[in-house]
């Protein structure tokens, strides 16, 4: 009985650890965005989304303090936004809101602000690779 209980506990722990893993493409996509490589981040984030649906869990990107919420639709929206494709950005952000994982994250406020800018007809000029950052400080 005791061995069965321990085995069950280990199995549950292993499944929880596996569930917490996120696709490496998400980290690579965020790193690309940190370098202002908006175009390069898009296929990485799409692949991450194919591998695992959006859930808003925190993901360590690099280092001890660089975490982001697992929100591929949000970050795809950023990539499109900074390339002046505001229609595609709006579409990704609407998906993000429909899924709802963004609602309790730091990214939620920024998403609403970006959507408001688009609704007011303010779409940025294409951002050069070394140009403006899409990660606004809150």
Q: What is the pLDDT of residues 21-52, one digit of tens each?
A: 899 999 999 999 999 999 999 999 999 999 99
Tell me the domains of the chain and their CATH numbers: 23-119 (1.25.40.10)
Q: How confident is the model at residue 17 (pLDDT cuts 50, 70, 90)?
A: very low
- The pLDDT assigned to 62 comes to 86
This prediction has a pTM of: 0.77
DSSP codes, 6-45: HHHHHHHHHHHHHHH---HHHHHHHHHHHTT-HHHHHHHH
The single-letter DSSP state of residue 103 is G
What is the pLDDT averaged over residues 4-8? 54
Asked whether the predicted pLDDT for residue 76 surpasses 70, the reply is yes
Which residue did the predictor score with more confidence, 35 or 11? Answer: 35
Which positions ≥6 away from 109 have C-beta within 8 Å? 138
Which residue did the predictor score with more confidence, 118 or 133? Answer: 118
pLDDT digits (tens, 9 = 90+) for 124-138: 887 665 444 444 332
């Amino acid at each position: 009985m005791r061995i069965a209980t321990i085995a069950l506990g280990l199995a549950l722990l292993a499944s929880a650890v596996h569930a917490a893993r996120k696709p490496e493409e998400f980290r690579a996509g965020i790193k690309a965005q940190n370098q202002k490589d908006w175009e390069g981040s898009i296929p990485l984030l799409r692949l991450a989304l194919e591998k695992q649906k959006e859930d808003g869990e925190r993901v360590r990107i690099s280092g001890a303090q660089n975490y982001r919420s697992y929100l591929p639709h949000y970050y795809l929206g950023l990539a499109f936004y900074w390339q002046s494709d505001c229609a595609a950005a709006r579409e990704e952000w609407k998906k993000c809101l429909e899924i709802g994982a963004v609602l309790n994250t730091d990214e939620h406020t920024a998403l609403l602000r970006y959507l408001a800018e688009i609704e007011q007809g303010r779409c940025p000029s294409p951002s050069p690779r070394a140009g403006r950052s899409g990660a606004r400080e809150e």
